[in-house]
Structure formats: C-alpha cells, structure tokens
C-alpha cells in the first residue's frame, strides 16, 4: 500500500473540523511546486471554501491568440460580441498570500493555494465570482466580476472585463496587488451537487446493474443533467437506482480525495493531453466507487439532499447509447416547484383540481376529435355551397365566362378556396376565368387575405395575375402557372377592391378575346 500524508483541516488555516481529517491524502513522496496549479487549487483541496486572499501574479489583456483552452478557438456568439464592444477581457492568475509557516504539515508539503474559483474541467462547468482589491476601497474599480475560469496547461486562468480603452493599472489592478476573491456559492453548490450526484448515479448503474456510463453533461441553467448509458435501463432499474442512491445519500456516505502523482504509468485515458507534470485526483465514494476526477466534491453525500431520475429513456443517434435525465439537491427542489406551478396553472385553465386534470384532458381531446369530424363535414358542405355560388356568378364577356366570390371570414385560407374549386363544375361550352378571394373588407383595416385565380386557359390566368400586380400596386404579391395564380394580400383589403377585381376579370377576358391591332 502506498504511503500517504493525511491533510489536517488546520493545514488549510480553517476552523477545526470543518473538513474531515482524512478527506484528502497526498503521496508521501510528493514534492510541491513553487506555485499552486490545477489539481491542487484551494477549491479542489477544500470544496467548502468560499473566499480567499490572493496576490495577482499575471494580468494580461486577452488577445485572439489567447482565446483557446484546449487548442481549439472558441466562437463568440452575438451577445458576447456586443459585450466585447463595451468591455475588454483580461486574464488574471493568482497565488496565495498566507505565510508558509501557517501551512506547514510537518512533512515538507507545501499547501499554498492560488484560487477558490474552479476552472472548467472534468465535466464540471466553471465557477464565477468577484475579485476585490484590498488596497482600493469605496471606488468604482475596487471590485470586478469573474465571468469564467479555465485551465491552460497547469494554470487556472480567470477572465474579467474592464471598460474598453481603460487602464486597469491606473486603478490598482496590477501584478502584485492583493485581492480578496469570493466564489458564487450558489452556482458552485449547484455544480457540486450535480457532479457528485452523477458519480453516485453512474457508480450504482455500473457496479450493481452492470450498465456503464458512456458520457454525461452537467446542466448550468437549472435544467436536468443527463447521463448516456451503454444500454437502456428498464423502469424497474431506474426506480431501483433512485431508491438506492437516496439511501446512500441519507446514510451520509463519505467522499474522499486521493491525490497521486501524474506519470506515464499513472495517467487515465480521460486526462487532457496538455495536462502534464500535475497530479491525478481519485474521488472515492466509500464502499462503492473510485473514479479519477478533477472536480469539486463535498466530503459527505448528505450534501446532495436527494436525487431523482426523470421517467423515460431517449435512444440517441450515432453510437448506440441511451440517455436518462436527472437532477440532484437544490435543482430537484426547483424542478418540483416548477412542476407544481405548471400543474396548478393547467388546473386553473381547465377549471379543475390537479387530481382531475387527466380526466378533463381526456374529455377535451374527445371533444376536439368530435369537433374536427363535424368541422370536416361542415367544411365540405360549405365548399359545395360556395362552388354553386361561384357557378351562379359566372357571366360571359367576349366569349369568356368570368365569375368571382369573396369570403370575408378571417379563417378562410388558400386550402379552403382550393376545396371550393374541387367542388366547382366549370362551364363545358367555352373558356372561363374565376377569382376566389378571402379576408375582411372593412374600414378598420383588418390584416390578412388571399386571392386565387384559375381558369380554362393558362394565358387568361397569367394575364389576370399581371393585371392584379399593376392595379393593386404591390398590395397583392404572388405568382403561379398551369392555369392557377395565387397571391397574398399585403396589409388588408380596401373598400372598392371588390369592384377592382371585377374590372381585372373583365379586362383580362376582353383583351384575350380581342387583342389590340398594330
């Protein structure tokens, strides 16, 4: 068994017993580096730490060449681009200000820390927080928000924003400045609960149900996180895992961190290629699981509160895998509150209590089905009646039968007008041209409407369509072919438009029958 050094809470200069004495272990042969690095940050050594005093060791305006964390440049969205026009991103790094004597373990182990803000990694999103200058109090520049943090090789880099064109150094933001940093604890707590919950959930699936985790995603917005499983778990298996996880949580099962030296022989395949000469952190859930991870994990699963897996499994495309969604801790409480508010709102709209919602929805769906069937019958009868009306409106102009109908009911669409045509019997003794219009005609200027032209001769219809464009001066836009022309009313029908359509039909029929002589 490898020799280890147990880190005492006093090493962290914290109140006694804030952390269990055996929460963190380091190899006996560990020789500390001059500066803290990702793997042994304050937030990783003590996940309950919320603030820290540090010294700025590097501060540099971010450039395009620096806009990468893993060798791939990140694309800025429109919101980020807008923000960039008003503020410039700066990178800041830190070291701890505590005297070495306060952190001595008696084993020559340097435990100086440089950040309480976790950089994105190990599947866990980054922390945000606030940096405050110790020497500048009561000024507009004495504090700045940490928008994000990321790992660059072994370094934890914090991103902040200063107004574009400003000089942060003139306001005290320089290398060597003493800074007090505070993490956004609500965000950190949320991430820790989801992350440790994912470890627990995956461990139960893998060790007790032989179903391995192929991937996962932790939510940052209060939405469920997910885990992709090797095979689709049954409803019974999901119920078992939920109960088993909550039993383990309620027992206050311990979580421990075992740190080992990173080397070619001690290097998990999931470790980023650019992370070298660091450490490997193994997260242990007592009597259940050991897994390499650089994230932050509370020393007790009681911190999680509870865990829930949402019903249903989604089969994902690509490599075969099955996705389940879950929430842990505070996110579960919020999900329950959201679901309750939604059910309550639905009940109010349905005018019934939550227990009766299912029955009331069944009644509504049946009513909708019956109404749809009746609507179909009435629609067919209505279209047949309008087809008769269209036939009755036909009158002969220069050997062409022309006719028109206009239905002002707002819900009349092109589909309805086409159904009228299907029921329409055109004249069998000559050419014909018809216009079918829809949409209100009123002084109120109600928007909407369409116009459908059809006839026995494509030339007739095309000519009528051209006349519509000219006479309506762009208020009806459309086109067509093969004996049909369809247009949309831009704005609304005006009084007098009905007569204008009659004029267009007459002119189209007359010009077609009696072309102008040269």
Within this chain, do residues 423 and 382 fall inside the same structural domain, yes or no?
A: yes
Does some domain include residue 369?
A: no
Tokens standing for 178? 């003493």
Domain presence at residue 164? yes
| Shared domain check, 409 and 323 | no
Q: Which of 126, 160, 183 is the last residue of a domain?
A: 183
Residues 6 or more apart whose CB falls under 8 angstroms from that of 250 comprise: 302
Please indicate, yes or no, whether residues 303 and 399 belong to a single structural domain of this protein: no
Q: Are residues 476 and 503 in the same domain?
A: yes
Is 152 domain-assigned?
yes
pLDDT at 106 over 50: no
Q: To the nearest whole percent, how much of the chain has pLDDT over 90?
A: 54
Report the alpha-carbon distance of residue 478 to residue 111 in Å, rounded. 75
For residue 27, give the 3-state DSSP assignment. strand
Residue 327's contacts (CB-CB under 8 Å, 6 or more residues apart) are: 194, 224, 225, 307, 308, 310, 335
What is the Cα–Cα distance from 8 to 19, expressed in whole angstroms? 8
From CA 372, how far away is CA 384, in angstroms rounded?
18
**pLDDT tens-digit map of 331-357:** 999 999 999 999 999 999 999 999 999
Same-domain check for residues 240 and 346: yes
What does the block give as tokens for 50?
């919320």
Per-residue model confidence (pLDDT) at position 15: 43
For residues 16 and 134, membership in a common domain is answered with: yes
The yes-or-no verdict on residue 515 having pLDDT over 70 is no
More confident residue, 443 or 132: 132
Which string of DSSP letters, residue by residue, matches 231-246? Answer: SPPPHHHHHHHHHHHH
Check whether residue 149 and residue 35 sit in a common domain. Answer: yes
Domain containing residue 504: CATH number: 3.10.310.40
Cα–Cα distance, 143 to 130 (Å, whole number): 7
The CATH code of the domain that includes 271 is: 3.30.980.10
Q: Which backbone phi and psi does 477 adopt, to 5 degrees? A: -115, 135
117 shares its domain with 239 = no
Give the span between the Cα atoms of 356 and 33, in whole angstroms. Answer: 65
pLDDT (tens digit per residue) in 32-83: 666 678 888 989 989 999 999 888 888 888 876 655 444 444 555 555 555 5
SS3 370: helix
Determine the Cα–Cα distance for residues 47 and 192; give it in Å rounded to an integer.
9
Domain boundary among 288, 318, 350: 350
Number of domains in the chain: 3
Supply the CATH number for residue 104's domain.
2.40.30.130
- The answer to whether residue 107 sits within a structural domain is yes
Do residue 179 and residue 205 come from a single domain? no
- Of 119, 152, 183, the position where a domain reaches its end is 183
- For residue 75, being part of any structural domain is answered with no
Tell me, yes or no, whether 327 and 442 share the same domain: no
Q: How far apart are CA 149 and CA 249, in angstroms?
A: 30
User: What is the pLDDT confidence band of residue 3, given thresholds at 50, 70 and 90?
Assistant: very low
**Residue 73 domain-assigned?**
no
Phi-psi region of 133 (alpha: psi -120 to 50; beta: other; left: phi over 0): beta
CA-nearest of 53, 202, 57, 38 to 120 is 38
Alpha carbons 337 and 114: distance in angstroms, whole number: 38
Cα(147)–Cα(295) distance, integer angstroms: 19
**Residue 441 near residue 408 (C-beta atoms within 8 A):** yes
What is the pLDDT, as a whole number, of residue 516? 35
Residue 173 belongs to what domain range? 4-65+81-183
Average pLDDT over residues 174-203: 94
Together in a domain, 135 and 272: no
What is 312-346 written as a DSSP string?
A: --EEPSSSS-EEEEEEETHHHHHHHHHHHHHHHHH
Q: Is residue 359 part of a domain?
A: no
Residue 366 in domain: no
Q: Are residues 208 and 318 in the same domain?
A: yes
Structure token digits, residue 148: 């994000």
């Amino acid at each position: 068994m490898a020799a280890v050094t147990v880190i005492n809470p006093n090493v962290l200069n914290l109140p006694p017993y804030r952390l269990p004495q055996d929460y963190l272990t380091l190899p006996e042969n560990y020789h500390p580096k001059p500066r803290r690095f990702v793997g042994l940050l304050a937030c990783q050594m003590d996940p309950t730490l919320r603030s820290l005093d540090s010294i700025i060791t590097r501060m540099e305006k971010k450039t395009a060449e620096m806009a990468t964390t893993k060798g791939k440049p990140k694309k800025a969205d429109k919101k980020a681009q807008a923000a960039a026009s008003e503020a410039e991103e700066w990178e800041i790094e830190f070291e701890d200000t505590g005297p070495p004597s306060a952190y001595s373990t008696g084993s020559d182990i340097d435990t100086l820390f440089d950040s309480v803000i976790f950089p994105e990694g190990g599947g866990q999103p980054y922390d945000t927080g606030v940096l405050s200058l110790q020497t500048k109090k009561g000024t507009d520049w004495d504090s700045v928000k940490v928008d994000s943090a990321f790992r660059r090789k072994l370094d934890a880099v914090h991103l902040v924003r200063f107004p574009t064109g400003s000089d942060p150094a003139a306001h005290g933001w320089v290398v060597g400045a003493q800074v007090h940093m505070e993490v956004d604890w609500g965000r950190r707590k949320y991430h820790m609960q989801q992350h440790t919950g994912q470890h627990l959930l995956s461990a139960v699936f893998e060790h007790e149900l032989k179903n391995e985790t192929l991937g996962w995603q932790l939510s940052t917005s209060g939405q469920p996180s997910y885990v992709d499983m090797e095979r689709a778990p049954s409803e019974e298996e999901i119920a078992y895992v939920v109960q088993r996880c909550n039993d383990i949580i309620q027992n206050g099962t311990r979580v421990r961190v075992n740190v080992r030296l990173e080397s070619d022989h001690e290097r998990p395949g999931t470790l980023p290629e650019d992370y070298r000469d660091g450490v490997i952190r193994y997260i242990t859930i007592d009597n259940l699981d050991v897994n390499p991870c650089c994230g932050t994990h509370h020393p007790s699963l009681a911190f999680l509160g509870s865990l829930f897996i949402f019903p249903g499994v989604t089969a994902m495309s690509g490599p075969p895998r099955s996705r389940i969604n879950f929430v842990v801790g505070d996110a579960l409480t919020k999900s329950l509150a959201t679901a309750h508010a939604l059910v309550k709102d639905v009940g109010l709209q349905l005018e019934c209590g939550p227990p009766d919602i299912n029955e009331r929805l069944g009644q509504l769906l049946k009513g909708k089905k019956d109404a749809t069937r009746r609507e179909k019958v009435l629609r067919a009868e209505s279209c047949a009646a309008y087809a008769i009306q269209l036939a009755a409106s036909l009158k002969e102009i220069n050997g062409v039968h022309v006719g028109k109908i206009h239905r002002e009911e707002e819900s009349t669409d092109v589909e309805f007008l086409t159904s009228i045509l299907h029921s329409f019997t055109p004249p069998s003794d000559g050419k014909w041209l018809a216009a079918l219009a829809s949409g209100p005609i009123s002084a109120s200027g109600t928007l909407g409407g369409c116009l459908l032209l059809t006839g026995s001769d494509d030339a007739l219809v095309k000519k009528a369509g051209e006349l519509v464009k000219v006479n309506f001066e762009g208020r009806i836009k459309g086109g067509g072919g093969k004996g049909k022309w369809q247009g949309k009313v831009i704005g609304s029908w005006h009084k007098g438009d009905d007569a204008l359509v009659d004029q267009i039909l007459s002119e189209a029929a007359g010009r077609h029958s009696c072309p102008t002589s040269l």
